[in-house]
Amino acid sequence: MLCDSCKTHQASVFLTQIVDGKMQKLNLCETCSKKNGVTDPTGFALADLLLGLGAPQNIEVTTTTEIAEGQCPTCGFTQADFKKTGRLGCSDCYETFADQLQPLLSGMHKGTRHVGKIPVRQFREVELTNRLMDLRTTLQKSVLDEDYELAAKLRDAIRQIELLPANQPLS
Amino acid sequence: MKINRLSKSGDWPSGDGANQSIVITSRVRLARNLARLPFPGWAKKAERVQTLDLIRPAVEALPAMKDATSIGLQDLTALEKQVLVERHMISREHAAKGVGSAVVINKKQTLAIMINEEDHLRMQSIRPGLQLKNVFKMIDSVDSELEATLDFAYSRDLGYLTACPTNVGTGMRASAMLHLPGLVLSEQINRVVQGVNKIGLAVRGLYGEGTEAMGNLFQISNQTTLGQKEEEIIGNLTKVIEKIIEHEENARAVLMEKRANTLLDQIGRAYGTLTFAYSMTSKEALNLLSVMRLGIDLGFFEPDYRHPIDELFMETQPAHLQKSSQQKLSADERDNLRAAIIRAKLKDFPKPDLSHRSSGSEPKSEG
């Protein structure tokens, strides 16, 4: 794609701005982006890359709809903010923007699940969740196997864990 | 000056640690955030100050931070910040911060915790030589102590949640600073860098991301933080570094065998320029000091001369130089002062001489 400004060089900086609720796009080459005061072209290019918005046509569809609804309830951060900075607003943003982050994370890391250190505080919680997951899997299997006696036991065990208050020690 | 409490030498090594002739330092940093509070880059000033007030006492109370220096970034002059950057105690990004950000550094300058950098906490441990595992253990225990009082943002699936998704998971970046003049002189460095990049590790210059490799110094670190255990990341990185050390040693041996005259020429020129120059930029100083360091490793100088050379690496950095002079210097004045400091230190340095070569295994060369 050619630069909108000089129309000679290949554009490498893609800007998207919302002005009065309308979206404006600008594709610039590096020289023109600097000339136009876009001081950190890598920052912009990175944000685009991070959001997986490589094809500029996609920007139109995604940004306009998602900016309206996607706002982190905890800190007020929006997807547009992420696109601009490449950083998130708070830890809850990971949940708010989970769908958009998923493909991005799998692209930049070796895996999509944390397998490293678990803080002691969370350890019990993680243990419980893992145990619940195991129990549910076994329950499904027992139902398929028509072993209803086992299934009933498993169901009770699951219910017991689910009823545990958050701060009660795990027996 | 607040940072005067910190001893003069920075992180440039002295003490234990394996392979110190090639691996200058091992460093591990962990990124942590408090749950549900806005990350520093998104927080308003008042929120940042609140978060800082929450974190700072917890950090200062750490046993490892006994007699530590704890400073708000607004209380540091631009020069003092730069000194800390040159010592790798704070990042360049952190140096740009003011009210609402702080740094706590232990007395030995082996542990530094930045508060409200890109993340609420960036804690790093740094040690001389190749000892990533030990360095990780140290910072890991600090992290475990802090999590008892601070509520870290953590999710079961994604691990430690960080401002930038590139750090999510372990929040860990382990890195080693390598001195690789042999690979540079034998023009193998590009191939090594490409190989290292290909297996998902990053190679950077002296001051991290986007900086030039000066003085044949290279930082190698892990790129990814999600999907691998900390120990696994450290183990892989250590293996790769050991391979690079092997390559560097081979390159040096081959240079000694096949191009001894080139080596002698380089070392002699570095010695001559450093001993007699009256003006020197920091880049030239770094590059020449690097060659002197190689000369010591190869036995052109007695091993006792390693320490003064290593000290010069830090003392001739722009901010350290400026600080030692106690007055504002122009670039020209700095270059003059730098040359003077180096001349003074090298005054009693003997000429390069191959007779100090200790290891008999490598091929002898006619000087």
Percentage of chain B modeled with pLDDT above 70: 90
The DSSP output letter for B171 is -
If phi over 0 gives left and psi between -120 and 50 gives alpha, with beta otherwise, what is residue B208?
left
Q: Is the confidence at residue B188, as pLDDT, over 60?
A: yes
pTM of the predicted protein model: 0.76
CA-based nearest distance A111→chain B, Å: 4
Q: Are A113 and B161 a contacting pair at CB < 8 A?
A: no
Q: Is the confidence at residue B216, as pLDDT, over 90?
A: yes
Q: Select from B118, B103, B236 the least CA-distant residue to B171.
A: B118
Q: What is the mean pLDDT of residues B14-21?
A: 66
Q: For residue A8, what pLDDT is reported?
A: 74
Give me the residues paired with residue B218 across strands: B178
Q: For residue A160, what pLDDT is reported?
A: 83
If phi over 0 gives left and psi between -120 and 50 gives alpha, with beta otherwise, what is residue B29?
beta
Q: How far apart are CA B352 and CA B104, in angstroms?
A: 42
- Judging contacts by C-beta atoms under 8 Å, the chain B residues touching residue A78 are none
Q: Are B156 and A126 a contacting pair at CB < 8 A?
A: yes
Regarding predicted confidence, which is higher, A56 or A3? A3
Q: Within an 8 Å CB–CB cutoff, is residue A112 touching chain B?
A: yes
Size of chain A, expressed as the number of residues it contains:
171
Name residues 19-38 of chain B within 8 A of A (Cβ).
33-38
Q: For residue B211, what pLDDT is reported?
A: 58
Per-residue pLDDT tens over the stretch B59-70: 999 999 999 999
Give me the residues paired with residue B126 across strands: B27
Regarding predicted confidence, which is higher, B324 or A63? B324
Name residues 118-157 of chain A within 8 A of B (Cβ).
118-122, 125-126, 129
Q: How far apart are CA B119 and CA A87, in angstroms?
A: 10
Q: How far apart are CA B254 and CA B56, in angstroms?
A: 52
If phi over 0 gives left and psi between -120 and 50 gives alpha, with beta otherwise, what is residue A95?
alpha
- Non-local (6+) Cβ contacts of B218 within 8 A are B177, B178, B180, B189, B193, B203, B204, B205
Q: Are A113 and B41 a contacting pair at CB < 8 A?
A: no
3-state secondary structure of B97: coil
List, in sequence order, every beta strand (DSSP E) within chain B.
Answer: 23-32, 69-72, 102-105, 111-115, 121-128, 154-155, 159-160, 172-179, 201-204, 217-222
Q: Select from B305, B331, B314, B332 the least CA-distant residue to B206.
A: B314
Q: What is the mean pLDDT of residues B238-261?
A: 95
| Among B140, B152, B158, B237, the residue to mutate for chain A (most A Cβ within 10 A) | B158
Q: Is the confidence at residue A30, as pLDDT, over 90?
A: no
Q: Within an 8 Å CB–CB cutoff, is residue A88 touching chain B?
A: yes
- Judging contacts by C-beta atoms under 8 Å, the chain A residues touching residue B42 are 75, 77, 81, 87-90
Q: For A44-58, B81-95, B233-247, which range has the lowest pLDDT when averaged over its residues?
A: A44-58
Confidence band of A123 (pLDDT split at 50, 70, 90): confident
| Among A50, A94, A114, the residue to mutate for chain B (most B Cβ within 10 A) | A114
Taking the CA atoms of residue A139, residue A145, residue A148 and residue A154 in that order, the dihedral angle to the nearest 10 degrees is: -20
Q: Is the confidence at residue A54, as pLDDT, over 50?
A: no
Neighbours of A93 (CB within 10 A): 29
Q: Select from B246, B256, B289 the least CA-distant residue to B367.
A: B256
Q: Is the confidence at residue A62, as pLDDT, over 60?
A: no
Q: For residue B8, what pLDDT is reported?
A: 55
Confidence band of B207 (pLDDT split at 50, 70, 90): low
Confidence band of A166 (pLDDT split at 50, 70, 90): low
DSSP states of B115-126: ESSSSSEEEEEE
The pair of structure tokens assigned to A104 is 């991005």
- Which residue does chain B place closest to A106, by CA atoms? B226
The pair of structure tokens assigned to B208 is 């991290």
